């Protein structure tokens, strides 16, 4: 099994934090709550893709962005 990357761990932390806040009845606006869930799920999916997918295109894109 591969090591968990930063994107996956940050996504898990965001979702866990939102679930804890909801469990302790902290009232947050619906927009903010759903935005955090969406960001968390997106980061998890991106982290899983980076663990098992071909990351050469992503790595080359990051290098081209830095060179500009």
Could you give the CA distance from residue 39 to residue 52 in angstroms, rounded to a whole number? 20
Residue 11 lies in a domain: yes
pLDDT at 1 over 80: no
Residue 48 lies in a domain: yes
| Domain encompassing residue 23 | 6-67
39-52: per-residue pLDDT in tens?
A: 999 999 999 888 88
pLDDT confidence of residue 54: 79
Residue 1 lies in a domain: no
Query: Ramachandran region of residue 25, left (φ > 0), alpha (ψ -120 to 50) or beta?
Result: left
Q: What is each CA distance from 51 to 27, 30, 47, in whole angstroms?
A: 35, 32, 6
Could you give the CA distance from residue 51 to residue 40 in angstroms, rounded to a whole number? 17
Q: How many domains does the chain have?
A: 1
Question: Does the global pTM surpass 0.75?
Answer: yes
């Amino acid at each position: 099994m591969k090591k968990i990357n930063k994107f996956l761990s940050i996504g898990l932390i965001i979702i866990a934090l939102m679930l804890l806040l909801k469990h302790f009845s902290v009232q947050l606006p619906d927009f903010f709550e759903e935005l955090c869930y969406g960001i968390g799920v997106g980061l998890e999916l991106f982290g899983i893709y980076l663990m098992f997918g071909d990351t050469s295109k992503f790595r080359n894109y990051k290098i081209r962005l830095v060179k500009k």
